[in-house]
């Protein structure tokens, strides 16, 4: 196989990368691929920089597990996307269960962001500062989590300003799903970027997660139009968590061809815009995909099969990168 990161960089992108997780690093066949800079020039920790891991009890910051991934990336010369600082999910129970005031939760959020961003200062190309703050079904557009309910929308610009103060060189991203194509949620994401800017806080990027379904993935032109909508706000974009899942298994030959088309649409969209800096897959082989445990009976969403052979989608991504 040729090498996805090498080809992406030759095409003018910063990286082609993958998420990974601590438990996966004991799989030597997997690690042989993940650690190959020519294949994956960028790493995102899939779990262990999240709040439940990094501040399991108030004021007790532990970066041991996150450091395993960041050290791995550093050892291989790989760019890090750091993930994430403020998210409604994977919060320790002390954050979700306590009764906060605006003032006390603000202090907690500030301490968390300051500690974590300072710990990783200089190592993160980008931080996903706020993750999934929008809700597809909420009338306000915002997810009614503990942060929104206690602090109002102001928590979002506050999180960005706090992260910027702790590491002025990290790119600060808003990261979400279903904002990759035009619609109510993408419009809410545009307004969220404008909200942050209206507070005078810095936002550098919008992370397009890219969790897609075979046969339902938007076309390259639809994806590109939305990239340019964000770019018009003065921010860059990246595809941050790409996978394209089958909703019924096993896949047919025709299904695998469609999956290749769908991965190709994402790749082409990113290649077509100077504002798209790179593509990250939310792990590269089916053995470590989050899909089967969340969507029962679905999966086979990755570029590699669980046995570490590649799919037709891999060949399509590779040839699009090579011909860019
Ligand atoms: O670490 C514990 C382990 O000790 C325990 O025995 C086991 C039993 O269930 O759970 C383990 O924790 C799991 C953790 O992944 C690490 O494997 C959690 O249950 C599981 O819920 C968690 O899932 C993660 C998911 O976020 C949580 O929402 C996935 O690995 C991770 O890939 C996924 O990533 C998210 C992004 O952060 C944001 N965008 C969506 C994406 C997919 O859901």
pLDDT band at 136 (very low <50, low <70, confident <90, very high): confident
Whether the predicted pLDDT of 153 surpasses 60: yes
Res 99: pLDDT: 87
Give dist(CA 270, CA 220) in Å, integer. Answer: 9
C-alpha 52: how far from chain center: 18
Number of H helices and number of E strands within the chain?
13, 9
Q: Which three-class secondary structure state does DSSP give residue 123? A: coil
Quick: pLDDT tens for 270-297: 999 999 999 999 999 999 999 999 999 9
Q: Which three-class secondary structure state does DSSP give residue 281? A: strand
User: Encoding tokens for residue 222?
Assistant: 């639809």
Q: Which three-class secondary structure state does DSSP give residue 131? A: strand
- Protein residue with its CA nearest to atom 11 in ligand 1: 47
Centre of ligand 1 from the C-alpha of residue 295, in Å: 13
pLDDT, averaged across the chain: 97
Give yes or no for a cis peptide into 250 (omega within 30° of 0): yes
* Catalytic residue from among 39, 132, 236, 318: 132
Rounded mean pLDDT, 117-141: 95
- Protein residue with its CA nearest to atom 13 in ligand 1: 47
User: Encoding tokens for residue 20?
Assistant: 């990974």
| CB of 209 sitting under 6 A from ligand 1 | yes
Rounded mean pLDDT, 184-210: 97
User: Encoding tokens for residue 92?
Assistant: 């320790």
| CB of 56 sitting under 6 A from ligand 1 | no
| CB of 46 sitting under 6 A from ligand 1 | yes
- Protein residue with its CA nearest to atom 23 in ligand 1: 290
| CB of 101 sitting under 6 A from ligand 1 | no
* Residues in a beta bridge with 134: 142
Give dist(CA 301, CA 320) in Å, integer. Answer: 19
Q: What is the ipTM of this complex?
A: 0.94
Res 97: pLDDT: 82
Give dist(CA 163, CA 128) in Å, integer. Answer: 10
Helix 220-231 to helix 253-272 angle (10° resolution) is 30
Q: Residue 120 gets which letter from DSSP?
A: T
Burial of 250 (0-12, 13-18, 19+ CB in 10 A): exposed
Centre of ligand 1 from the C-alpha of residue 274, in Å: 33
Res 146: pLDDT: 97
Res 1: pLDDT: 55
- Protein residue with its CA nearest to atom 29 in ligand 1: 290
Among residues 222, 234, 230, 219, which one has the least CA distance to residue 182? 222
* Catalytic residue from among 116, 180, 236, 241: 241
Among residues 68, 43, 64, which one has the least CA distance to residue 55? 64
Q: Alpha helices of the chain — where are they, by DSSP H?
A: 4-10, 28-34, 51-54, 64-75, 93-97, 102-119, 146-151, 155-166, 184-198, 220-231, 253-272, 291-294, 312-322
Give dist(CA 157, CA 199) in Å, integer. Answer: 6
Say if CB 85 and CB 163 are below 8 A apart.
yes
| CB of 47 sitting under 6 A from ligand 1 | yes
Quick: pLDDT tens for 209-264: 999 999 999 999 999 999 999 999 999 999 999 999 999 999 999 999 999 999 99
User: Encoding tokens for residue 212?
Assistant: 């897609």
Quick: pLDDT tens for 77-128: 999 999 999 999 999 999 998 789 999 999 999 999 999 999 999 999 999 9
Phi, psi of 187 (to 5 degrees): -65, -40
Global pTM value: 0.97
318 catalytic per annotation: no
Res 139: pLDDT: 81
Rounded mean pLDDT, 187-213: 98
241 catalytic per annotation: yes
Rounded mean pLDDT, 170-180: 98
User: Do the strands 126-131 and 15-20 form a parallel or antiparallel pair, or are they unpaired?
Assistant: unpaired
């Amino acid at each position: 196989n040729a090498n996805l990161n090498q080809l992406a960089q030759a095409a003018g992108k910063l990286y082609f990368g993958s998420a990974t997780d601590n438990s996966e690093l004991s799989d030597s066949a997997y690690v042989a691929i993940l650690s190959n800079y020519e294949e994956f020039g960028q790493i995102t920790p899939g779990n262990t920089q999240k709040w439940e891991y990094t501040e399991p009890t108030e004021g007790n910051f532990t970066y041991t597990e996150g450091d395993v991934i960041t050290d791995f990336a550093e050892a291989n010369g790989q760019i890090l996307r750091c993930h994430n600082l403020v998210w409604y999910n994977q919060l320790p129970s002390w954050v979700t269960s306590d009764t906060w005031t605006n003032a006390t939760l603000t202090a907690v959020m500030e301490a968390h962001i300051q500690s974590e961003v300072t710990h990783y200062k200089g190592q993160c190309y980008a931080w996903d500062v706020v993750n999934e703050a929008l809700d597809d079904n909420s009338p306000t557009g915002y997810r009614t989590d503990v942060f929104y309910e206690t602090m109002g929308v102001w928590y979002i610009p506050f999180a960005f300003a706090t992260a910027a103060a702790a590491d002025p060189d990290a790119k600060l991203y808003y990261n979400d799903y279903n904002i990759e194509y035009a619609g109510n949620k993408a419009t809410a994401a545009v307004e969220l970027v404008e909200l942050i800017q209206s507070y005078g806080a810095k936002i550098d990027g919008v992370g397009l997660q890219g969790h897609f379904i075979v046969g339902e993935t938007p076309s390259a032109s639809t994806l590109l139009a939305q990239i340019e909508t964000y770019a018009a706000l003065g921010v860059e974009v990246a595809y941050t968590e790409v996978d394209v899942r089958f909703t019924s298994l096993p896949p047919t030959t025709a299904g695998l061809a469609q999956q290749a088309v769908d991965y190709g649409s994402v790749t082409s969209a990113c290649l077509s815009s100077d504002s798209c800096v790179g593509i990250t897959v939310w792990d590269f082989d089916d053995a470590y995909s989050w899909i089967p445990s969340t969507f029962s009976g679905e999966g086979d969403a990755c570029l590699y099969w669980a046995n570490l052979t590649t799919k037709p989608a891999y060949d399509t991504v590779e040839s699009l990168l090579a011909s860019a």
